[in-house]
Amino acid sequence: MDMHTVAIESPAPKAPPVPRNGVDTPKLFATINMVGEQPALARFQFRADTKWMGSTHSRSVISGFHGAGGEMQHAEPVAADSDHPAVLCGTDHGPTPVEWLLHALAGCLTAGIANIAAARGVTLASVECHVEGDIDLRGVLGLSKEVRNGFQAIRVGFKVQGDATADTLRQIVEQSRARSAVFDILTNGVPVAIAVDA
């Protein structure tokens, strides 16, 4: 019987991901793996505490949240003002609440693009987002029962440049949309409970 020795070469180990686009890619993958192994770590609760400042002006402070199995704090508390412009009887101390909603959508989608591009090994050169929402104030003002109170339509446009094909960059934006918490809240709704301590 003829015996031959065959050397089987295993594939070279895959290089670990490197930080890219300002994203700590190794930490991103480690977090995904850890949450996959311990699903309870995925449960987060975010909070904002808001005080009325007068007229239509209010100020929210965002500092703590619950996540990864415990209470956490942001590096610094963040104050965010909302108000209405003078044309809507406000004092214009900040964006309107619906403008903050547009900001939240743009911020969530843009963060997703940075993370997903980094995970796919794509280096971004620039990402710009323009969001606009159409609203008919007759609903908010109680002038029409046929007009909804909120946005009737929201449009999001991206200009993305990076070291990938246009098709790959579009796929990254699409995956960000598919995984966006804010997009999900806006398009699928979420139960909202309001309690009053008077």
pLDDT digits over 86-100, tens only?
Answer: 999 999 999 999 999
What pLDDT digit, counting tens, does each position of 36-59 carry?
A: 999 999 999 999 999 999 999 999
According to the model, what pLDDT value does residue 14 have? Answer: 59
State the CATH number of the domain containing residue 164.
3.30.300.20
Strand 124-134 relative to strand 57-67, pairing: unpaired
Same-domain status, 67 and 88? yes
Q: Is residue 21 part of a domain?
A: no
| Same domain? 111 vs 175 | yes
| Residue 9, domain member (yes or no) | no
- Hey, what's the torsion of the CAs at 97, 153, 157, 189, to 10 degrees? 70
Residue 3 has pLDDT above 60, yes or no: no
pLDDT tens figures, 152-183: 999 999 999 999 999 999 999 999 999 999 99
The answer on 184 and 104 residing in a single domain is: yes
Residues 52 and 127 in one domain: no
Query: Which residues, other chains included, contact 39 with Cβ-Cβ below 8 Å and sequence gap of 6+?
Result: none
Chain-wide mean pLDDT for the chain? 92
Are 84 and 101 in a shared domain? Answer: no
pLDDT at position 4 is 57
What is the total count of domains within the chain?
2
| Cβ–Cβ under 8 Å, residues 65 and 45 | yes
Asked whether residue 65 falls in the same domain as residue 133, the answer is no
Task: Say which residues have a Cβ less than 8 Å from residue 74's Cβ, sequence separation at least 6.
Answer: 62, 63, 64, 65
Each residue's pLDDT tens digit, 133-142: 999 999 999 9
Would you say residue 26 lies in a domain?
Answer: no
Task: Mark whether 79 and 104 lie in a shared domain.
Answer: no
Residue with tokens 């770590």: 41
Is 56 contained in some domain?
A: yes
Would you state the pLDDT for residue 12? 57
Q: Are residues 86 and 100 in the same domain?
A: no
Residue 158 covered by a domain:
yes
Residue that finishes a domain, picked among 35, 68, 94: 94
Predicted confidence (pLDDT) at residue 5 exceeds the cutoff of 90: no
Residue 123 domain-assigned (yes or no): yes
Residue 115 and residue 183 in one domain: yes
Give the range of the structural domain holding residue 85, as residue numbers without chain letter: 45-94
pLDDT of residue 17: 75
d(CA 147, CA 138): 7
For the segment 2-20, the average pLDDT, to the nearest whole number, is 63
Is the confidence at residue 1, as pLDDT, over 80? Answer: no
Percentage of the chain beyond pLDDT 70 is 92
pLDDT score of 18: 84
Q: Could you give the CA distance from residue 192 to residue 165 in angstroms, rounded to a whole number?
A: 41
Whose tokens are 């949240």? That residue is 65
Residues 170 and 109 in one domain: yes
